[in-house]
Amino acid sequence: MLRTILICLLAALPVTVGATDLSTQLTHKPVLNLNVVRQIAAAAEAEARKNNWNVSISIVDEAGRLMYFSRMDDTPNSSVDVSMGKARHAVNYRRDTKFHQELLEKGNAVVLGLPDITPIEGGLRLIANGKVIGGIGVSGVQASQDAQIARAGAILLGE
């Protein structure tokens, strides 16, 4: 009888011997939030307006999911999908789109076989504390001008 009572009491106790708090092993990293995204977008849009360039601006999170989109007046229809593609490219490949554009220009056609790629300058990684936390893509003017606009927003993160 005493043995049965002891077994029941031990079974009721929480098991903590050797248990590890896994939360201490998690990686802590910065993530985009809507307030920061709006500031990045505002800086990019200000650069576009300063130069009288009408563009589409897309910002995605680290998973390539859209957090912000803006299409200025008189922007080409195609710039919508292109800006989103540039932003996703930058975050998914963890490289600015210009990297793959330059490979393609050097004759490396393998780039065209990569999934969901937009090898046209104007997509930049958003980096904080050395980690890619998102991407910004701009489309609507010359690719180098798209990149200039994207840089105006990305520079706010200081990397």
pLDDT of residue 31: 94
Domain positions in the chain: 30-157
User: In this structure, are residues 158 and 64 in contact, taking their beta carbons and an 8 Å threshold?
Assistant: no
Band of residue 153 on the pLDDT scale cut at 50, 70, 90 = very high
Q: Give 67-92 pLDDT, tens digit per residue.
A: 999 999 999 999 999 999 999 999 99
CATH of 30-157, one of 3.30.1360.170, 3.30.450.150, 3.40.50.300, 3.40.190.10: 3.30.450.150
109, amino acid identity: A
pLDDT tops 60 at residue 124: yes
Distance in angstroms (rounded) separating the CA atoms of residues 83 and 93: 16
Percent of the chain with pLDDT over 70: 88
| Backbone region of residue 18 per phi and psi (left: phi > 0; alpha: psi in -120 to 50; beta: other values) | left
Q: What is the pTM of this model?
A: 0.85
And the tokens for 98? 């210009």
pLDDT of residue 15: 55
Q: Report the side by side order of strands in the sheet with 123-128.
A: 66-71, 56-61, 131-139, 123-128
